[in-house]
């Protein structure tokens, strides 16, 4: 649904450092499209459980959408 509205995305395994429930999957999107992506996902009833930003150094920080 993200790609249908022009937001590039990729589904992948969640990094172990942020996956609290064992194995999981995440949707990777460009940070500049985060607000648009969250709007689309919520509208379609698929709000994320958690949202993380990844730094250039590869570290993650959780953000509250």
- Tens digits of residue pLDDT in 13-28: 988 888 877 778 899 9
Domain locations in the chain as residue ranges = 3-63
Beta carbons within 10 angstroms of residue 37's beta carbon: 22
**Measured at the alpha carbon of residue 15, what is the angle toward residues 63 and 42, in degrees to the nearest 5?**
45
Tokens read off for 19: 């996956």
Per-residue pLDDT of the chain (65 residues; tens, 9 = 90+): 999 999 999 999 988 888 877 778 899 999 999 999 999 999 999 989 889 999 999 899 999 87
């Amino acid at each position: 649904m993200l790609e249908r509205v022009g937001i590039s995305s990729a589904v992948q395994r969640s990094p172990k450092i942020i996956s609290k429930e064992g194995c999981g999957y995440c949707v990777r999107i460009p940070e500049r499209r985060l607000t648009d992506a969250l709007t689309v996902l919520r509208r379609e009833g698929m709000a994320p459980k958690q949202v993380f930003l990844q730094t250039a150094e590869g570290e993650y920080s959780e953000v509250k959408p």
